[in-house]
Structure 1
């Protein structure tokens, strides 16, 4: 009972922080995630009798909690994008997905095998899980809420990239799993991977997301809230869209993450100037903040209870290289010649909860030698990203916004 009461206090403080921290940290070089990770480290380091937050021991719990964190973040990201989809309009997004992401995966695989000494399957898993940027921790570099005007290219590119590459990391995770279980995998697994894991599952995710988003938006905007109860629940349709689109896509064998983001973009494109879009986004953001707070406290707890025990100096250097060198260089290559703000886009490749989900998923579905080392490297890379990007996001984004608005003001 005492442990339960302690847990209630911790949860209560975490929820209180979601309200207080945005006010206290406004325009300060300390981000919301940094505070929560530090809080988790302190709480789990105290002699309170809390169980170790071991993501391997509690593999299923880790997978499901991080899965929830990603999907609620994806719906929020999709609902705030004002720019309609298109090949030219989303040019920076397609470049990041088609060029930067595969380059990042390849570099991580090589570094994991050569520098850390991981087996090929474990190195491939490292590459797959570290590739996607994170929609959960990237709030400070994402676009503004809906109907606030066109955001700068940096915010748009980072938001749309994070919305799509979380789903696109799945095929590469499946490659790592198949490689780890090659002794029992079917001989034609490569063909099956291309046809099923790439084309079919991505296609199903896009189709289910568009249909569910369009149908839900049609209902929401054609039948506005007319009673007090309906108005009190305003915005909850965002959570409904998340759960329905994700569940249907997964049941149909597709990628639920893609379905969630595409569904959110479809909702945003319906009655684009309607004021209710703001309420949908606000509700989704509240849910996202609460879930993120819980996950970050647990991440801090994992750090305090031994997550980095398997981290060698080689692994630490690789984690630093992935954040400071691999992503920036891969981003610059992917965006070569376009756009002018490519330096900032390449730098802010934030790693986070999405990587934890894919790592939990992979380890839960195959046996990887050196799983503890992979967790340590990924966890350290995420910690570095949280601190580095958390400190630099506010001043860099402020400078970029001033550069964009100053010419207009002069005119």
Structure 2
């Protein structure tokens, strides 16, 4: 009964806390971890099982949260997909992410003494930014106008790189099953795990997204699904797209995000997108809060961080404050992104639920050494990211917004002055 009451209280907090914390230098994930830590510190008899012994459960739960988050993130984006309009995103994906993986892979050898496969797995799991915990740095709801370059870059990056990390995870798995390097092995990985799975992921997402978008918005008026006003249609679309993609060996994460973009493109200005987005966001927030409360409890129980060493702590700090910021900063060289926004994009590489999913998925396969070290190190990085980014996000984004608003006001003032001067002549 106590757990039932606690669950009811958590549901209420899901609705209330975002409003309370909106202007505070404190994020919802921080509060959730604190709640879990304090609750299970006061009631140690409710000890959380070690995640290493429940990897299959962890995989499925985190998978569900991530795909719901990916659909919600895609539905937020107003900007049409294009090479130039998404240039910052492509740079983050094609330059920053490989640089991050390479740096973290090498650090796995140096700091943690891991094997090549385990080092690569940890690097691939930690490279993508997280769509679940990054809501404070993402764009606003559909057609809200809250889509500046910084928020757009962080939203679109998180939406795509959670799927693009998969080829590197599959490479790490393949390394545990191959005792010698051959060209055939490398070509097979590239053909199947890179070209085929990514291609299928994009194709399934685009086809089902447009197809279901037509079904929702464009069939005869009496049968339009958008007339229902039911937000849970977003959940149905998410699960269908993910299931179809995974069934034909595509990357479901990629498919879900692409499907969300295609759904927006099918009827870009329809108000029903707001309903779909709101349902996805509310469900995502509830599941995220449950997971983070459990995460806080697992930290207090001692099992999750029991394999930490000073080397793990050094790895975590370098990964967060050095590797991601430098990789992202270098990737944006030559763009028109102002220095302060470039710094924000580079700094807010938030790690979270997606990293846990990748580790839980891969560690069920044989051949990886030191599974508990991998999970403990990843958990520490997620914890540091939640606290560091959660404390700094409100003042940082507020500063960027004020500078942008001031710049807009100055440009408008100059425009009016120039117009007045011309008229006086």
The answer to whether the superposition gives a TM-score over 0.5 is yes
Other-structure match for 2:163:
167
RMSD: 2.0
Matched, 1:322 2:319: yes
**Which residue of 280, 286, 292 corresponds with 1:284?**
280
Other-structure match for 1:384:
384
5+ residue gaps, structure 2, are: 413-425
Other-structure match for 1:270:
266
Q: Which segment is superposed worse, 265-274 or 90-99? A: 265-274
> CA, structure 1 residues 59+120, in 2 after alignment: closer, same or farther (shift >3 Å)?
same
Secondary structure of 1:364's counterpart equals coil
Matched, 1:349 2:349: yes
> CA, structure 1 residues 225+11, in 2 after alignment: closer, same or farther (shift >3 Å)?
farther
> CA, structure 1 residues 186+51, in 2 after alignment: closer, same or farther (shift >3 Å)?
farther
1:22 positional shift: 1.1
Other-structure match for 1:50:
46
The answer to whether the 8 A contact 1:355-1:378 is kept is yes
Other-structure match for 2:420:
none
Other-structure match for 1:109:
105
**Which residue of 70, 87, 90 corresponds with 1:91?**
87
1:5-404 matches, cutoff 5 A: 5-47=1-43, 49-149=45-145, 151-183=147-179, 188-222=184-218, 234-305=230-301, 306-338=303-335, 339-340=337-338, 341-404=341-404
The Cα offsets for residues 169-202 of structure 1, whole Å up to 9 and x where unpaired, read as 1110011111222249998332111001000000
Once residues 44 and 222 of structure 2 are traced to their aligned partners in structure 1, the CA distance between those partners, rounded to angstroms, is: 49
Once residues 383 and 327 of structure 1 are traced to their aligned partners in structure 2, the CA distance between those partners, rounded to angstroms, is: 16
Secondary structure of 2:53's counterpart equals coil
Secondary structure of 1:365's counterpart equals coil
Secondary structure of 1:336's counterpart equals coil
The answer to whether the 8 A contact 1:206-1:262 is kept is yes
Q: Which segment is superposed worse, 147-156 or 43-52? A: 43-52
5+ residue gaps, structure 1, are: none
The Cα offsets for residues 261-286 of structure 1, whole Å up to 9 and x where unpaired, read as 00001111122121211111111111
Secondary structure of 2:266's counterpart equals coil
1:135 positional shift: 0.1
1:46 positional shift: 3.1
Secondary structure of 1:253's counterpart equals coil
The answer to whether the 8 A contact 1:307-1:375 is kept is yes
Once residues 367 and 6 of structure 2 are traced to their aligned partners in structure 1, the CA distance between those partners, rounded to angstroms, is: 34
Q: Which segment is superposed worse, 45-54 or 182-191? A: 182-191
The answer to whether the 8 A contact 1:95-1:334 is kept is yes
1:406 positional shift: 2.0
Once residues 394 and 69 of structure 1 are traced to their aligned partners in structure 2, the CA distance between those partners, rounded to angstroms, is: 24
The Cα offsets for residues 103-144 of structure 1, whole Å up to 9 and x where unpaired, read as 111111111111122222211111110000000000000011
The answer to whether the 8 A contact 2:229-2:275 is kept is no
The answer to whether the 8 A contact 1:63-1:361 is kept is yes
> CA, structure 1 residues 56+214, in 2 after alignment: closer, same or farther (shift >3 Å)?
same
- Tell me how many residue pairs correspond in the alignment: 406
